[in-house]
Structure 1
Amino acid sequence: MGTDNTVMTTGMVEFKRALGFALGLREEYGGKVTPAFNEFTSEPDIVGHWETLGGEVIAEMLGYSTRLVRDARENGQGGEFSTLPAAIRDHGTYGPLIDVAEVLVNVLENDGGMVVDAENRRLVQELETLDMVAVFGLMVMSWNPPRKNGEATC
């Protein structure tokens, strides 16, 4: 049996933690994306914790979430922001952040990992922590969207 030489970076650990929390919220709300997203983005403990992580860790977390969306699209497991409920997509606060998330995915698809990682580091310098939490949440909530009668649940 071989050994696993994967080094768990802080960004990887924090990504897995945030992903697990976000998906747990979706489950807690019966697959309803809107209340899960709203709780994820408004949870003071998350925002406060992210503020302690540092820019490099947050940029790495955004990189993992960007790759999650790209892989989901390639594997037919979601990743399309158009499947997010209208309450999220049409909200004045999140519309521009959906654009940011889409740009990140497009950069990854067209320019590769190194360029998207640099873009994530730049965004961390420009965005407020709450906005970075929201971009992460938008990506995670678009992954493997729960369906009810062919539409994403709200």
Structure 2
Amino acid sequence: MSSITPHLRIGSISDLLRRNWSRGYRYSISGFAGFLFFEAILFTGLRLLTTGSILFIDIGAAVSGTFVAFLLNEYWTFGKRVSSDAAGKLLVKRIVAFQGVNAAGNAIIIGIQILLLSYLALEPLIGTLIASVAATPVDYYLSSVFVWKVGI
């Protein structure tokens, strides 16, 4: 298995996606499913509560949506391609690692969403979509390296 280097270089994310288009595609679909789950929780939470509770709703939605994306990635995207080092980890440790990798992205997404809501009165569901698009390639790279430890 090739050496895993967690250093970002200019163009490395686009090179990664070109070399791993099938896995990148599956990762994107899994992330989109997690995003839809996030949006469903956000939609429901905003209808039951108010925008004054948006941070609380966002945190619950982010953790839940990330968990859905993890499960799809674990069994569909990476499956048997997981390195022996990552396979030796307990599933719970990989879940925690994936939540950790996605925590920074989710913090940025939630921050942008709240700014767009506060200053532009943009619907939170749309703000989440806008912010999520930028986070996907970075999340894919970091998850490949730190969670499933596959060669890139």
Same fold (TM over 0.5): no
TM-score between both structures, scaled by the size of structure 1: 0.31
Structure of higher CA gyration radius: 2
Higher relative helix content: 2
TM-score between both structures, scaled by the size of structure 2: 0.31
